[in-house]
Amino acid sequence: MMETLVGIALFANFVGHQFEPIQDLKNLLRLYNLPWYFSKVFYCSRCIGFWAGWIYTGSFYQGLAASFLSVIFDFIFKEIERRNQQ
C-alpha cells in the first residue's frame, strides 16, 4: 500500500517538474496558456499526485496521502538542487 503511494508521489514529481521530455512536451502543447485551473493540474506535483492517487487507488484518502507525499518529495528535491548549486 505505502509503496504504491510513494510510487504515485514520485510519478507526480517527475511529471510535474523533473522529467525534461515531458516538460518540453507540455511547453510544446502550450498547456501553460490554458486557464489557471486547468494548467495548474499539469504543472503542480500536488495536483498530479492527488488526481493520480485518487484515480489509481479509487480512494479519496489515498489520493490525499499521495498528494502529501508529493509535497514532501518536492521539498526534498528542491533542497537537494539548492545545495548542489552552492
The string of pLDDT tens digits covering residues 9-29 is 888 888 777 666 666 676 677
Residues 6+ apart with CB under 8 A from 42: 15, 16, 26, 31, 34, 48
Question: Which domain covers residue 27, as residue numbers?
Answer: 14-85
| Residue of 61, 68, 76 lying closest to 9 (CA atoms) | 68
- Answer whether residue 26 is part of any domain: yes
Contact predicate 45/66, CB 8 Å: no
| Residue 66 located in a structural domain | yes
Q: Does 42 map to a domain?
A: yes
pLDDT tens digits along 42-79: 667 888 888 889 999 999 999 999 999 998 998 898 89
Cell 522529467 found at: 19
